[in-house]
Structures are given as C-alpha cells and as structure tokens.
Amino acid sequence: MDHGGVPGRLLLIGGAEDKCYGTEVLERYAEMCGNSKARIVVITTATGIPGQAFAEYEQAFRKLGVRHIRELPISGRADADSSPATAALAGATGVFFSGGDQSRLRTLVGSRINERLSAGLADGLVVAGTSAGATALGRTMILHGNGADVATGPGLGLMPRMLIDMHFGERGRLPRLLNAVTLDPDGLGVGIDENTAICVQGDTFEVLGSGTVSVVDAKDATVVYAASDTDPITLFDVRLHLLPAGCLFDLASRSPAIGPAHARY
C-alpha cells in the first residue's frame, strides 16, 4: 500500500447526506469510529454557521448511539497551530469535517492540526469530510469555478492520490473535474454525488449511499493546454468509471470492481 505513508481510514461524502432517515452514510461512519464507544470531534471551520452545523451533527450522531461528540472550533491559523486544538484530538476515534466553503479550510493546511490528523490515520483515527470538508482532504482541492475556469489549491493531503469534487451529478461538475485533474494527471479525479460516499481503507474504497461516484483517470491521457486560462483544453483518451453503491475501486491498480453490496471494513 502506498498513500504517501498514510494507510487511510476515511469516509468522503459528496454533501447533503441524510441525517434523519436511512442515515446509511453517517451510520457507516459511526460504526467505523466505534459506535457507542466512539469519540467524534467535529471541525466546523468550513461553515459560516458553526453552531448550527455542530448541533445538526451532534443530534444525528446521538441518534446513532454515539455518546461523545464535541466541536473543535478553528477560526484561523493560530487556532490550528495551538496546543489546545491538538490536545482536543487526543483520545478521539473520529474527526468529521463539515461542509461549507473549502477556502476556509486552507488555514489548516500544513498546520499542527494537519500533522496530527496525518499521524492519527496511521494509529487508527477515522477521518470524514462532507462537501467542502471532503474536497479539502486531497493533496489538491478544488476551490471554485466551473469548466475551464477552475481554481485549485493545496489540500490537507490525507488522500494524496485523489482530487475530490462534491455535489457532483446534481451540479453537473464533470467538466470541472476533467479540467482540474489535468493539472495533476497522475492523480485520480473522484466526483461524489450527494448522499453518497466512498469508504476508504488501505488501497481500496467502497461506494455507499444513494448516488454514484465518478472516477476520472487521466494518467494515460493526451493533454494540450489552452493559450489562456479561460479557453478550453484539448483532452484525449481519458478513462471514466461510474460506480454505484456496492462497487469497489482499487487505488493501486486504478481498477473498479463489482463488490459485495454490504461489505464492511
């Protein structure tokens, strides 16, 4: 396994996950974290309404039997580098990044919190992100834009091989992901629909939820870059995989498979 030294136990959610009925996605996360023994820290940096966002997830996780949930408010780099913030992660079995605006999460990139999360993955910590919180977990994150006008920046690097996009099918973001992945063709573009997630362990991820995951592989593609940032690129021989719930994807061989619909890691 080779994820830049990080084994990976993550749940990446495309946003708008069901918190009330049939909470399959959040149920899987609670299970990965230890169910009633789970200790989950919710990082609400990405949202403009942190108190409301935390209250919603606290309620959802308590319905799933999790008794220990706390918010870790990080509003700037000083917070992300502070000893109290890193101490808040001590004993946690899971860390959950809420959605919002991923540009707010740039304050965590390269911070002590970022380092602690990377080290925690190697020790069994389970990290999840939804919407903006999911795209920020890659080596590179999409900041904004559509089609040829996409802007990217450094991410937290917890999934170094992936460039993650969210609300994928609902917002027609395939052109955006295609353009973004050409900036790092060796990586994989992963577009996740709403109420859909990929559950990552080691070199494999499983799809769960009600939608589809699109995987863009441009490793062997031919790319001719445009003369300006607003012009379209030329792109040949891209591989595209559409994976509904129950499908698996091998990150080492870059190959999909039909897997057991109710596999558990």
Residue 90 CA to residue 261 CA, distance in Å, equals 34
Residue 257 C-alpha from the chain's centroid: 21
User: What 3-state class would DSSP assign to 58?
Assistant: helix
DSSP state of 33: H
Q: E-assigned strands of the chain?
A: 9-13, 39-43, 68-72, 94-97, 126-130, 140-144, 151-154, 162-166, 188-192, 196-201, 204-209, 212-217, 222-224, 234-236, 239-244, 247-250, 255-258
Q: Residue 144: which of 155, 134, 154, 153 has the closest Cα?
A: 153
Residues linked to residue 10 through DSSP beta bridges, in sequence order = 127, 200
Which is the catalytic residue, given 17, 27, 71, 131?
131
For residues 30 and 126, the answer to whether their CB atoms sit within 8 Å is no
The Cα-based distances of 236 to 146, 222, 233 in angstroms read: 20, 5, 10
Q: Is 167 a catalytic residue?
A: yes
Taking the CA atoms of the chain, what radius of gyration do you get in angstroms?
A: 17
Which is the catalytic residue, given 27, 167, 206, 214?
167
Q: Is 194 a catalytic residue?
A: yes
Which is the catalytic residue, given 194, 210, 241, 253?
194
Q: Which residues are catalytic?
A: 131, 167, 194
